[in-house]
């Protein structure tokens, strides 16, 4: 039965282009009313406007907060936030020392005064959004060149943001459908965030890299934070006199049993999908981008694992970075495997041919849309010319050049931009960004480990020096030539000069330069500043090309999506872009391969079954004891006769959704989304009804761990549960 | 539901000692009538005496032949035999050359004249057996010492065999229940066996070592042989004038669809189980035997893989040996993992304590059985003293010393035994064994590769030289001392002397010495002969200890099994010992771990799904083409809408059962057993109703491959099917 179903779905996916599968779609909140009938039939007991009322700007969605890279939700009137352990990991790591190893042992604030400052963390509370397409597109005039078009749109966006932002409120204009639509989002940015409770890593990260992306899963991937505001109720810097934020809405924890087939909805902030990417661009990803990226990631992991051997303090400093690298490389490998095995390029190409044929079949359509696909195709091919250099450059300037290079680049750019009128500055370097940039300078201090930075930068310089002559990075060619040496000797000499001459490892030096003027910064003689300034010649050229590309796409996308919408004759959702989205589905297992069925719930029994006593399968003794004694309390599911640990649902999510609340038909919290399954990694490109699943930690396992393992009594009471342990 | 069932079964297994699970039991044929009611309820449509009639010595069982190490069955009136590809692998390898690579390409005799001699292969046809317990045990007199008891029983057994054997008929006395029962088995030994058809390795061994022991499985593990006899119908050496053997019974191929839950029965020749082994002996296996063995196996595999690099001819010579080593090491590792994880020692110990308590609870039982468990326990502990030496010695003399050492030992022993009256000779060196010993000398020539033999012998000598002083192997100590060197230099010098001085690599030399007298053999000056003669001092001492142990057990076992029988109050089956057994069950999947269900059928779709183009997942192009075109013919299961490839059943089998026919309730062939699942490897110690499964290749996949992939038209017609391919 299931096999036949799978075959059927595949057939549909192949034949019907860009058709949303049953549970596919990362919908914007104003689209929910269009889905109301289907949602009600599936089990949603709320009305669309209870999820979000666009007139009053209120509803359940305001309980769903963005942590920047992760999602979360309020679960008490006193600003208590629940998210994934891996989303709170930075805050846990920040407060850990070899003496107080909260990563290993977990952390529990018995009273609010014990809560720990999660420096640098942000809780962004959703306040609403407006369609500003007309205002943005109105800035574009006929006859503009692509780069002019891009600049006009960017200016309009900055203008809208500037008008919108006021004390504590952050605004952003999000581009949807490749620029066919624009929305202005408002978020309350709370910047006093504290760590309340994290289970031991052996629960919160149980299964580690072995189980990452895998089902069956037994990870208790949850943690609690709390949002604080000033006594006036407005966002404020950390202060002992701050008070818990009182959210407009918080989620009730479900007490009904969640079962296979039940309706589930997720709200959260998915980061990025490529559902409408052209086949030729996917081919580029498959043939070049992923293979190259995977090699680089493995190389850097090996370098850092080697650095790790220097001691426990280095290990703590590198933990978060390594965790991220492992996660990325596993995702990239799964993606590449999936893209190759599913022959996605050929399938996408077939779809495009069908769309092209449909357009060509009608003279009017041909006139309206006929040039779109060929023009988009041409842009993809053009970008291919510089791909080797772009990859190394992106890698270097995207953080893999180390913190000192990042700091140098940021200071050089900031001091050069800050003298301009605010609306003319580069995005990311406006007044509104100053606080974040300063915070970033502070944050980088906590994990600064120069030997490992140098090792990674050395790797990047070696790669850059291997680029074909004439297609390399000018700044690096200069850097190496200046040493008067060649090969590895030149690289090592350049690194010696950079690290012995730079003072940027000193926070005060960074802060002083940040406040200096650009000429003084350049005159500081810091070799990293000089290197960063030289690199900017390379990145500026790259950025100009990007802007030209964006300008071209701004003209093409509206036509492309218009054609697609008419062809499909159904609502279209936009690719993920870190804005709030709604996805609905059911609790549902899947068939990963011939003769294997994954059922949708794992259990506490399974947690213990995986325990080997060796990391990452080393349960805390108190968990084993409680399980052995059968202390399961009210958290037992009578059908499973056990505490459910994790569950699968067919919700459509991606990275950024981590920590998202998953809710039942009443809008009550039944768990937290924390992963996707390995078999559907390519769902960023193409959602599969048969294989795409969200992996959630079941709230009953969270509660059981809080109660019987960690005895978080006060916290349990705050979210409405009386502890049951003795 | 399944989880609860699994928990329940575990509970029973722990609480009820030696209780047969639902489908547990490797039954002797005369026990089938006791099971009749249960069998009929499960779906057997035959009467017990149709399976085997002990009065007429006839029935379905006579279609089930032993290949020596594997099982098989007749499937045509003209002596056509079906078995596993891995059972016919030796015959395929024997006929393969770099020019005619039947391993890779498969082999199909289009007409009988093209069939290839499978030199050394035997088809042993089951003729029946008798209970000879009284005759054997009658030879034991009260007051005999253990070694006398062993000798008396051995003599009686030899006597019975000698009286039974006549032209072509081989007899053997099998010991059951540790010597509580003895049965005289009769087999017709057919020694002209020919290879008829083997699919390409890419079908017959699809999945290779990666999938070995694993479900889901997609291996087409089948091949066909044919048994030939002289024109007089009697077994004869290979001759072109021989004629196909006409078996008393052959199996009809099922045409009904096999489904989940259907009754299945297997008859075959399981090699060895340890279902009644004491906890302390299992502890020895867990703590010492398996870990040591696994290390040795990995070491030898690494040595041979290295030798493999010398070329295709070496690769072909070592293929069969490496296949066996990989299989053994995977089994040993799974066994060790299973023994450890299931904590089998503790569970068995608990059972023994319950049995002991039950005995102790009654004075009469105490008198009858009270001394049994302590005495058996004592024997286990005594054998532990020499375990390191015994392991190396067993390894060396069990074939891992290389073919030259094996040949030398055989020649030395044969020439020393052959002058004795036949019934006084050591078992294995009687007149009845001469043909087989001669054949073995011939067979060893085909894969003789001295460099790899030397490398493995070097490894064994190094291990022996590492044994503690005073507990080593005297013959090896002498060998190394004689070189006048020490350490590895001594070993290399000894090997130089052995290999440069020996002429045993020459078949004619071996045959000449085999026919010489013992003194002449010793005087031949061949260094391997001298080494083997010296080693015999060590092995004789070991053998004497074994015989004493056997003598002790001959007295204890009848009491032990009597106590067990009364305690259990149910039929008891004997441990496997390569005699014909019957096991019944159903087609049934299992739950390998939390949230995962294995369904009982894989499909052709799954075969193609696993195809990566890289060995061992590299389907022949003609298979991919046929599957792609949907050429499935009558072999489709309408429920699966596909050709079933392999299936699971809960039959109780072990090594030796490979190639066994698996039959439906009508006694028709539905597939061939070829593996057990990884999760139940410890079923040799303890059968698990929840986890122990037989992996079978579905006859519908065999037929489909014959028809659409290999176009084995004549053979298909011989077994009753009209080909359907175009």
Select from B532, B718, B601 the least CA-distant residue to B111.
B718
User: What is the value of ipTM here, to two decimals?
Assistant: 0.84
Please indicate if any CB of chain B lies within 8 Å of the CB of A34.
no
What is the rounded distance in angstroms from the CA atom of residue A503 to the CA atom of residue A524?
10
- Number of A to B CB contacts under 8 A, please give it: 68
Alpha carbon A175 to chain centroid, angstroms: 17
Which residues lie below 8 Å from residue B41, measured CB to CB, with a gap of 6+? none
Q: How far B223 CA sits from the closest chain A CA (Å)?
A: 25
Please indicate if any CB of chain A lies within 8 Å of the CB of B601.
yes
B70, pLDDT greater than 60: yes
pLDDT for position B6: 35
Q: Among B216, B603, B605, select the one facing A596 at the smallest CB separation.
A: B216
What is the rounded distance in angstroms from the CA atom of residue B275 to the CA atom of residue B682?
10
A162, pLDDT greater than 90: yes
pLDDT tens sequence across B392-435: 999 998 888 899 999 999 999 999 999 999 999 999 999 999 99
Q: What is the DSSP string of A419-459?
A: TS-GGGSPTTSSGGGHHHHHHHHHHHHHT--HHHHHHHHHH
Confidence of residue A8 (pLDDT cuts 50, 70, 90): very low
B590 three-state secondary structure: strand
pLDDT for position A22: 73
- With a pLDDT cut of 70, the percent of chain A lying above it is 97
Question: Do A682 and A339 touch, CB atoms closer than 8 A?
Answer: yes
Which residues lie below 8 Å from residue A385, measured CB to CB, with a gap of 6+? none
- With a pLDDT cut of 90, the percent of chain B lying above it is 87
What number is the average pLDDT over the span A107-113?
A: 95
Question: Do A233 and A621 touch, CB atoms closer than 8 A?
Answer: no
Give B452: exposed, middle or buried? Use CB within 10 Å, 0-12, 13-18, 19+: buried
CATH class of the structural domain B1-122+191-274+575-726 = mainly beta
Question: Do B579 and B28 touch, CB atoms closer than 8 A?
Answer: yes
Q: Do B606 and A595 lie within an 8 Å CB cutoff?
A: yes
What is the rounded distance in angstroms from the CA atom of residue B304 to the CA atom of residue B324?
12
A210, pLDDT greater than 80: yes
Confidence of residue B300 (pLDDT cuts 50, 70, 90): very high
Which residues lie below 8 Å from residue B414, measured CB to CB, with a gap of 6+? B429, B437, B514
Between A269 and B385, residue with greater pLDDT: A269
Confidence of residue B4 (pLDDT cuts 50, 70, 90): very low
Residues of B in contact with A598 (CB under 8 A): 595-597
Q: Do B641 and A215 lie within an 8 Å CB cutoff?
A: no
pLDDT tens sequence across B347-383: 999 999 999 999 999 999 999 999 999 999 999 999 8
Residues of A in contact with B628 (CB under 8 A): none
Confidence of residue B14 (pLDDT cuts 50, 70, 90): very low
Select from A258, A255, A256, A72 the least CA-distant residue to A721.
A255
Altogether, the residues listed in chain A come to a count of: 726
**Summary mean pLDDT of chain B:** 93
- Mind telling me the catalytic residues of B? 86, 221, 658
Which residues lie below 8 Å from residue A308, measured CB to CB, with a gap of 6+? A314, A315, A318, A322
Please indicate if any CB of chain A lies within 8 Å of the CB of B19.
no
pLDDT tens sequence across A530-565: 999 999 999 999 999 999 999 999 999 999 999 999
Token pair in block for residue A179: 């620029």
What is the rounded distance in angstroms from the CA atom of residue A537 to the CA atom of residue A566?
44
Helix (H) or strand (E) holding B81: strand B80-83
Altogether, the residues listed in chain B come to a count of: 726
pLDDT tens sequence across A38-66: 999 999 999 999 999 999 999 999 999 99
Token pair in block for residue A281: 């661009």
Please indicate if any CB of chain B lies within 8 Å of the CB of A431.
no
- Domain range list for chain B: 1-122+191-274+575-726, 279-555
pLDDT tens sequence across B170-185: 999 999 999 999 999 9
Q: How many CA atoms lie within 13 A of B128 on its CB side?
A: 14
Cis previous bond, B216, omega within 30: yes
B215 three-state secondary structure: coil
Give B76: exposed, middle or buried? Use CB within 10 Å, 0-12, 13-18, 19+: buried
What is the rounded distance in angstroms from the CA atom of residue A375 to the CA atom of residue A678?
34
DSSP letter for B471, please. S
Strand partners, A171: A186
pLDDT tens sequence across A330-385: 889 988 988 887 889 999 999 999 999 999 999 999 999 999 999 999 999 998 88
B649, pLDDT greater than 60: yes
Between B529 and A317, residue with greater pLDDT: B529
A10, pLDDT greater than 60: no
Which residues lie below 8 Å from residue B116, measured CB to CB, with a gap of 6+? B91, B95, B107, B109, B194, B195
Q: Among A598, A603, A641, select the one facing B596 at the smallest CB separation.
A: A598
Q: Among B4, B593, B598, select the one facing A595 at the smallest CB separation.
A: B598
Question: Do A185 and A171 touch, CB atoms closer than 8 A?
Answer: yes
pLDDT tens sequence across A218-237: 999 999 999 999 999 999 99
Question: Do A265 and A582 touch, CB atoms closer than 8 A?
Answer: yes
Residues of B in contact with A602 (CB under 8 A): 594-595
Alpha helices in A261-371 (DSSP H): 279-284, 290-308, 312-341, 344-360, 363-369
- Long-range contacts (CB closer than 8 Å, 24 or more residues apart) made by A367-372: A368/A559, A368/A562, A368/A563, A369/A559, A369/A560, A369/A562, A369/A563, A372/A556, A372/A559, A372/A560, A372/A563
First to last CA, chain A: 47
Question: Do A442 and A507 touch, CB atoms closer than 8 A?
Answer: yes
Q: How far A693 CA sits from the closest chain B CA (Å)?
A: 14
pLDDT for position B18: 39
A18, pLDDT greater than 50: no
Least confident interval from A6-15, A241-250, A437-446, B42-51: A6-15
Angle at B539 between CA B538 and CA B542, to 5 degrees: 95
pLDDT for position A21: 52
Q: What is the DSSP string of B130-194?
A: EE-HHHHHTT--TT--HHHHHHHHHHHHHHHHHHH-BTTEEEEEEEEGGGTEEEEEEEEEE-EEE
Which residues lie below 8 Å from residue A639, measured CB to CB, with a gap of 6+? A257, A259
**Summary mean pLDDT of chain A:** 93
The alpha carbon torsion through B698, B703, B706, B712 (nearest 10 deg) reads 140
For helices A372-383 and A344-360, the axis angle rounded to 10 degrees is 140
Cβ density class B284-321: b for 16+ within 10 Å, e for less? bbbeebbebbbebbeebbeebeebbeeeeebebbbbbb
What number is the average pLDDT over the span A455-471?
A: 92
Please indicate if any CB of chain A lies within 8 Å of the CB of B595.
yes
Question: Do A228 and A242 touch, CB atoms closer than 8 A?
Answer: yes
DSSP letter for B712, please. -
pLDDT for position B21: 52
A253: number of Cβ within 10 Å: 18
Q: Do B597 and A596 lie within an 8 Å CB cutoff?
A: yes
Q: Among A3, A216, A603, select the one facing B596 at the smallest CB separation.
A: A216
Q: Is B264 left (phi over 0), alpha (psi -120 to 50) or beta?
A: beta
What number is the average pLDDT over the span B556-560?
A: 95
What is the rounded distance in angstroms from the CA atom of residue A13 to the CA atom of residue A2?
16
Least confident interval from A85-99, A311-325, B15-29: B15-29
Q: What is the DSSP string of B392-461?
A: HHHHIIIIIT-HHHHHHHHHHHHHHHTTS-GGGSPTTSSGGGHHHHHHHHHHHHHT--HHHHHHHHHHHH
Alpha helices in B342-386 (DSSP H): 344-360, 363-369, 372-383
Q: How far A286 CA sits from the closest chain B CA (Å)?
A: 17
């Amino acid at each position: 039965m299931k096999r036949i179903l799978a075959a059927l779905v595949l057939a549909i996916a192949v034949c019907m282009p860009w058709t949303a599968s049953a549970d596919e779609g990362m919908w914007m909140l104003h689209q929910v009313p269009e889905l109301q009938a289907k949602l009600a039939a599936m089990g949603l007991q709320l009305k669309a406007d209870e999820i979000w009322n666009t007139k009053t700007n209120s509803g359940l969605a305001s309980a769903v907060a963005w942590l920047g890279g992760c999602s979360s939700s309020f679960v008490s009137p006193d600003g208590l936030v629940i998210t994934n352990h891996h989303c709170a990991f930075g805050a846990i790591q920040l407060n850990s020392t070899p003496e107080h190893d909260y990563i290993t042992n977990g952390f529990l604030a018995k009273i609010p005064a014990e809560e720990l400052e999660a420096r640098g963390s942000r809780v962004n509370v959703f306040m609403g959004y407006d369609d500003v397409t007309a205002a943005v597109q109105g800035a574009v005039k006929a006859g503009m060149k692509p780069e002019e078009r891009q600049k006009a749109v960017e200016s309009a966006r900055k203008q809208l943001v500037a008008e919108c932002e006021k004390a504590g409120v952050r605004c952003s204009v999000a581009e949807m459908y490749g620029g066919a639509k624009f929305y202005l989002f408002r978020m309350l940015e709370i910047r006093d965030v504290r760590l309340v409770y994290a289970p031991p890593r052996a629960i919160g990260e149980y299964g580690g890299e072995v189980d990452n992306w895998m089902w069956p899963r037994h990870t208790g991937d949850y943690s609690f934070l709390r949002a604080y505001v000033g006594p006036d109720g407005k966002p404020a810097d950390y202060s002992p006199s701050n008070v818990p934020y009182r959210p407009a809405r918080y989620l009730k924890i479900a007490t009904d049993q969640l079962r296979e087939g039940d309706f589930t909805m997720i709200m959260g902030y998915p980061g990025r999908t490529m559902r409408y990417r052209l086949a030729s661009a996917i081919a580029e990803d498959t043939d070049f981008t992923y293979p190259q990226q995977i090699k680089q990631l493995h190389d850097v992991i090996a370098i850092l694992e080697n650095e790790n051997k220097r001691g426990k303090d280095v290990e703590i400093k590198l933990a978060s970075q390594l965790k991220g690298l492992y996660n990325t490389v596993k995702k990239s490998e799964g993606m590449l495997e999936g893209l190759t095995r599913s022959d996605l390029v050929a399938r996408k190409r077939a779809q495009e041919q069908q769309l092209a044929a449909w357009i060509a079949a009608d003279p009017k359509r041909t006139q309206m849309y006929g040039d779109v696909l060929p023009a988009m195709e041409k842009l993809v091919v053009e970008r291919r010319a510089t791909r080797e250099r772009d990859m190394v450059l992106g890698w270097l300037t995207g953080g893999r050049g180390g913190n000192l290079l990042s700091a140098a680049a940021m200071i050089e750019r900031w001091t050069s931009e800050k003298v301009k009128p605010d609306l003319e500055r580069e995005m990311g370097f406006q007044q509104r960004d100053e606080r974040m940039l300063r915070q970033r300078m502070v944050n980088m201090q906590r994990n600064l480990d120069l030997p490992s930075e140098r090792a990674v930068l050395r790797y990047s310089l070696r790669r850059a020096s291997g680029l074909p002559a004439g297609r390399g990075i000018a700044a690096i060619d200069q850097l190496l030539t200046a040493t008067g040496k060649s090969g590895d000797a030149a690289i090592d000499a350049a690194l010696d000069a950079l690290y012995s001459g730079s003072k940027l490892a000193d926070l005060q030096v960074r802060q002083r330069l940040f406040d200096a003027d650009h000429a003084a910064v350049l005159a500081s003689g810091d070799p990293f500043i000089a290197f960063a300034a030289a690199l900017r010649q390379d990145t500026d050229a790259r950025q100009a090309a990007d802007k030209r590309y964006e300008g071209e796409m701004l003209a093409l996308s509206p036509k492309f999506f218009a054609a697609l919408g008419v062809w499909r004759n159904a609502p279209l959702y936009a690719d993920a872009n870190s804005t709030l989205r709604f996805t609905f589905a059911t609790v549902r297992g899947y068939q990963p391969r011939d003769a294997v069925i994954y059922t949708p719930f794992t259990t506490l029994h399974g947690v213990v079954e995986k325990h080997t006593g060796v990391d990452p399968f080393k349960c805390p003794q108190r968990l084993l004891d409680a399980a052995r004694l059968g202390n399961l309390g009210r958290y037992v599911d009578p059908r499973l006769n056990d505490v459910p640990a994790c569950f699968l649902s067919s919700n459509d999510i991606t990275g950024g959704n981590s920590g998202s609340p998953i809710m039942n038909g009443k809008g009550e919290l039944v768990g937290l989304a924390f992963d996707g399954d390995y078999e559907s990694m390519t769902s960023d490109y193409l959602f599969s009804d048969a294989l795409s699943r969200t992996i959630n930690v079941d709230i009953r396992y969270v509660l059981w761990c809080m109660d019987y393992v960690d005895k978080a009594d006060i916290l349990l009471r705050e979210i409405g549960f009386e502890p049951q342990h003795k």
